[in-house]
């Protein structure tokens, strides 16, 4: 089974800017970067976009889940290719884990300091 990585498509690009330099919502720009990273190699993560995850104060948010594992909400990302790669790398480690736990030493640098919540698994 693949993990589900949902990127908010309507998040603003930064604390002060609703759009990125190309005129896209920050969340849409981040989704584009995650999808670009995912296109380079197939994997165990299903990437999708969704309008508004209701985490507006934490702009550029993502939600990661898989049945039987805790889910994660993370945000305050910049919509960059580096962020897209790091988010996807963490999601792949999460998907490959037995219980959703990824050792801190294995976290991509770009994920550190971005977690908002760890949510209990669906039963």
CB atoms within 10 A of CB 81: 12
Residue 111: pLDDT band with limits 50, 70, 90? very high
If one counts the domains in the chain, the total is: 1
Distance (Å, whole) CA 15 – CA 4:
26
**For the packed helices 81-96 and 26-39, what is the interaxial angle rounded to 10 degrees?**
60
Instruction: Write down the pLDDT at residue 55.
Output: 93
Q: Which domain holds residue 106?
A: 3-119
Q: What is the CATH number of the domain that holds 53?
A: 3.40.30.10
CA distances (Å), origin 57, targets 5, 17, 30, 32, 49: 20, 12, 16, 21, 18
Sign of CA dihedral 8, 9, 10, 14: positive
**SS3 of 22, please?**
coil
Q: Give tens-digit pLDDT for 2-54.
A: 899 999 999 998 888 878 788 889 999 999 999 999 998 778 999 999 999 99
DSSP assignment of 47-74: EEEES--S-GGG-S-EEEE-TTS-EEEE
Per-residue pLDDT tens over the stretch 61-97: 999 999 999 999 999 999 999 999 999 999 999 999 9
């Amino acid at each position: 089974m693949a993990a589900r990585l949902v990127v908010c498509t309507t998040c603003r690009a930064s604390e002060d800017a609703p759009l990125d330099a190309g005129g896209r919502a920050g969340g849409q720009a981040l989704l584009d970067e995650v999808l670009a990273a995912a296109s380079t190699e197939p994997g165990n993560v299903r990437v999708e976009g969704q309008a508004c995850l209701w985490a507006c104060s934490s702009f550029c948010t993502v939600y990661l889940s898989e049945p039987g594992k805790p889910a994660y909400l993370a945000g305050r990302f910049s919509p960059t290719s580096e962020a897209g790669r790091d988010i996807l790398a963490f999601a792949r480690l999460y998907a490959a884990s037995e219980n959703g736990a990824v050792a801190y030493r294995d976290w991509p640098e770009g994920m550190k300091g971005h977690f908002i919540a760890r949510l209990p698994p669906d039963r």
